Amino acid sequence: MEKIRVQLTDCPKAKPADETKLGFGKIFTDHMFIMEYHEGQGWHDPRIVPFGPIALSPAATCLHYGQEVFEGMKAYRTEDGRIQLFRPEKN
């Protein structure tokens, strides 16, 4: 296992006033974990770096329509007025 290198931010953010009300996707840490992957070499070069943009290949499958989208539970009304869920065990 490789040692994880750590690069601390030069501009740390203030702690949130109320840590019980953080909310998902609203408050982010000062740092993020990144790691490289190359075929034949596998995962390597683990590190913690200041929070910032990440490089993403235009060929990434998450950019292809519908590949990585969570659409939530789907419900449909049948002709006889009943409501049916589409694959609830998959959501």
41-86 per-position pLDDT tens digit: 999 999 999 999 998 888 887 777 665 555 677 788 899 999 998 7
Domain extent listing, the chain: 5-90
Task: Please give the full DSSP string across 7-73, using - where no structure is assigned.
Answer: ---SSPPPPPS-TT---TTTS--SEEEEEEEETTTEEEEEEEEES------TT-GGGSTTSS-----
Distance CA 23, CA 44 (A): 32
User: Which amino acid does the sequence have at 73?
Assistant: M
DSSP-assigned letter for residue 81: S
Q: How far, in Å, CA of 10 to CA of 13, rounded?
A: 10
Residues comprising the chain, all counted: 91
Render pLDDT for 20-39 as a digit per residue (tens, 0 to 9): 888 888 889 999 999 999 99
